[in-house]
Amino acid sequence: MKIRNIKKIMILCLLIAFTCTSLFVPPVSANGAVSAPYNWDNVKIGGGGGYVCGIVYNPTEKGLVYARTDMGGAYIRNKQTLEWEPITDWVSPDEWNLLGCESIATDPVDTNRVYIAAGTYTNSWTPMNGYILRSEDYGKTWERTELPFKFGGNMPGRSVGERLMIDPNSNNILYFAARSGKGLWKSTDYGKTWAKVSSFTNVGNYVEDPKFEYSSDNLGLCFVTFDSYKGTKGTPTKDIYVGVADKKNPLYVSHDAGETWSPVEGQPTESTFTQHNSKALKIGIPQHAVVNNKGILFVTYCDRGGPYQCDDGAIYKYDTNTGVWKDITPPSGKNWDGSPKYENYYGFSGLSVDAQNQDTLIISSLQSWWPDNFIFRSRDAGETWDAIWEHGESYPSRNLKYTMDISKAPWLTFGNKINAASGGLVKGDEIMNYPAPKLGWMMSALAINPFDSDEMMYGTGATIYGSKNLTDWDSGKLVNIEVMGTGVEETAVLSLICPPVNGVELISGVGDICGFVHKDLKTGPDMMMLSPRFTSTTGLDYAELNPETIVRVGNADKEQYEMIKKSVAISKDGGATWAEVQPNISYTFPAKTEDDIVQGGTVAVSADGSTFVWSTGTSQGVVCFENGGWKAVSTLPAGANVCSDRVNPKVFYAYANSTFYSSNDGGQTFTAVKTDLEAATSKIKAVPGKEGHVWIPGSTTGLSYTTDGGNTINEVNGVTRADVVGFGKAKAGEDYLAIYMCGEKDGLYAVYRSDDMAKSWVRVNDDQHQYGSINYSITGDLRVYGRVFVATNGRGIVYGEPNSDTPTTIIGDINEDGQVDAIDFAALKKYILNPTTLTDKQKIAADVNGDGSINSIDLAKLKSFILGIITHF
């Protein structure tokens, strides 16, 4: 019998054998591409850059603490380095919605268990329901359960919590307080299955703003908390409290372990709260609640759901032993002239009780924009309070009871200089009436370390701050507040460029905090780009033949610049300094309304830096800047994506409405070269060193390119989706730059690299490094082969570099014959039953689920792939 026939029979027998084998395979994210092993990390900005809305210490394991963000996943704090480490980077682009963390819970009994209520939006922006994620190894691996409704980790009211709670006396029981009118849910099997608590009938009724889809959802239920001190270990806690976004009945209680529920008697409601601001809404949205070991329940309230606007609020305490309520809201203090401040202007959210001394607690204002937020401390269960700052004798001075150390993220001044004498800041010669850096804003996450009364941390809209000497406050010493957000990278990144400029590794355009010139990938920059500072930088480009010339466009800070348009800036020294491009372009100058401001969009700089084309993000459309003046480009539609030829300074390209355009006069006029193309829009990008070469990614159509300025369009086989493309240094021996893509090939969305002009691709990320949404920007580095930078929506800037010690591998091809088949299944099964020697390359191929272990789960996935149940690993 011929050898090839023996092989066929062998494969057939093996297929029959393992089709009769019962192997459980949970839903997985699969990949079947050739894989090039990479090391992945964040380009460090430092401090976070986004809203940290929850910080939860484990009460029984020292040093165990988690943080949740509204759109950037969750983190665990490393006990040795005290830096944060992400635990949700495995979230795939298709499931980006899971990076919004509605709530997080750490098990006080089995401390290895952690749970996340994952889901970002409840509106039409995603069709995906929320999931309860559960881990039994501190977040290293996860299982999930889908609930039949959406979660809202980045929706109004994300400052409340925690919504997901574990019964500390019976840790198999979890409760989830849902929004959107979905009520209270309960699990009795460690989060595996869930059922609605039918006896809890108030689903909330508060809506932040019904005029807009984003804010028109019912805030629902706000938190769950247990009076565990009255309970018995091993028996479900009887007394449970649930906050409800219902100003008439904001707090409910069960005294029979969740069987029945009723409003707490005597509680404050919208008609009985003491109003501190006559212009605010009625108080009544509960934010956070804690029961101390004496049976005292503390509750913070706002007049709105938060986290952006709260104009009034309160804190009450309820003695569960006597049924007596008391308003313990801190007084508003005094004005600068010494008169009482009768009108409050902020609500309360953050709340933490000191586990070592449970009459001691701290609370925070949720949103006191001016001059700064407050933290209050009480050592007598809220009878008296001490504020962390007070107004001074004259405007704008303040008496500060703290110091601030932002050396780990110096950009947190936002370019302003501290004026320690006045408690304000100095900008030029002008004394401003707000501090830099601020204590924070959107301060809902506030926690005292249960093992160390000196340590507290709190989340803000930009970072995590904290203190290691909190109790010094009690003796009149200054509390030292410092950045404790190292490791958190939570920015939404909009644009990336990597100009070959000495001393510059990368330049980023970032949402909310402008963006940065990165001189070191592992050290955070000192400051964001200034003069002017944008709130968000939406577009970046540099002159390929004169790379120190860089232009950025973005959204102006309307308050800072008093409605004057300053949304385009230029640098002639590689980003070291910036200047406004004069004359400022505004069809109404200065702008009288926000609609008059020309801002946002994308920009393309000519190869020699003599001119640039700005496709604005507003109805004003596209403009060209040349010889110191502006000219409207009437031959391009508003919103067109633009890029410049990287060789010929006179040539620009644009794409809009399924049409490819080009310009041969420096961007002043454009001509349609190809029409009726498949992709409606495209983030086109031209190739350095190759005149006429432009790549055209399409989010629904795949990838194409032209080598003759658009006259001929070539399709790339096998790529069905391409959101963004970029270029980097060519592989040794190749004459075309390495191409990088965030897109889908053979059914798998991933980060890919091609070294042969898209004839073949290798996947360069893996299942543990997917980062959710990665469709904004990608670029290689013209100086370093293999290095790639990827912009994420909530996980900052990530970059990958080849692991030079690990060979490129086809996942599943254990015998290295170029095919994944039954012989590989047999080899893997043999290895699992009786481990044999595998090479490093074979071990990578055998670890088909990429979790670092080779076991029966890999075997099951390999079987499913060979049988066609899944199309890639």
Gap between the Cα atoms of 26 and 860, Å rounded: 9
Q: Is 70 a catalytic residue?
A: yes
Is 319 catalytic? The answer is no
Query: Coil, strand or helix: which one is 490?
Result: coil
Q: Contact 30/873 with Cβ under 8 angstroms?
A: yes
Q: For residue 845, give every residue at least 6 positions away whose Cβ sits within 8 Å of its Cβ, in sequence order, or none.
A: 809, 810, 811, 812, 813, 814, 816, 824
The answer for residues whose C-beta is within 8 angstroms of residue 827's C-beta and 6 or more apart is: 814, 815
The answer to whether residues 311 and 277 touch, using CB atoms and an 8 Å cutoff, is yes
Angstrom distance (rounded) from CA 119 to CA 207: 19
Residues 6+ apart with CB under 8 A from 110: 136, 171
Angstrom distance (rounded) from CA 534 to CA 560:
10
DSSP 112-155: T-EEEEE---SSTT--PPPEEEEESSTTSS-EEEE-SS---TTS
DSSP 794-842: SS-EEEEEE-TTS--EETT-TT-SS--SHHHHHHHHHHHHS-----HHH
Three-state SS at 728: strand
User: Rounded to the nearest 10 degrees, what angle do helices 856-867 and 3-19 cross at?
Assistant: 110
Helices 822-833 + 856-867 axis angle, to 10: 170
Q: Work out the burial of residue 438: count CB atoms within 10 Å of its CB; fewer than 13 is exposed, 13-18 middle, 19 or more buried.
A: buried
> Residue 787 pairs with which residues in a beta bridge?
none
Instruction: Give DSSP secondary structure letters for 67-107.
Output: EEESSS-EEEE-TTT--EEES-TT--GGGGGGGSEEEEEE-
How far is the C-alpha of 749 from the C-alpha of 742, rounded, in Å? 7
Sign of torsion, CA 424 427 430 433? negative
Give the burial class of 193: count Cβ atoms within 10 A of its Cβ; 0-12 exposed, 13-18 middle, 19 or more buried: exposed
Q: Strand 515-518: give its sheet, edge to edge.
A: 493-497, 506-510, 515-518
C-alpha–C-alpha distance, residues 533 and 415, integer Å: 8
How many C-beta neighbours within 10 Å does residue 713 have?
A: 17
Convert 410-444 into a string of H (helix), E (strand) and C (coil): HHHHCCCEEECCCCEEEECCEEECCCCCCCCCCCC
Would you state the structure tokens that stand for residue 414, as one six-digit string? 């936002």
Give Cα separations from 534 to 205, 435, 652, 757 (angstroms). Answer: 38, 19, 26, 37
Q: Phi and psi of 331, rounded to 5°? A: -65, 155
> Tokens 């944060």 appear where?
84
Cα–Cα distances (Å) from 871 to 7, 783, 848, in that order, read: 23, 36, 13
Catalytic residue among 454, 512, 665, 746: 512
- In eight-state DSSP terms, residue 754 is E
Residues 655, 661, 667: CA angle, nearest 5 degrees: 105
Catalytic residue among 70, 217, 311, 781: 70
3-class secondary structure, 195: strand
Separation CA 65–CA 139 (nearest Å): 12
Is residue 364 within 8 Å of 458, Cβ to Cβ?
yes
- Cβ neighbours of residue 809 under 8 Å, at least 6 residues apart? 34, 35, 37, 841, 844, 845
Residues marked active site are found at 70, 512
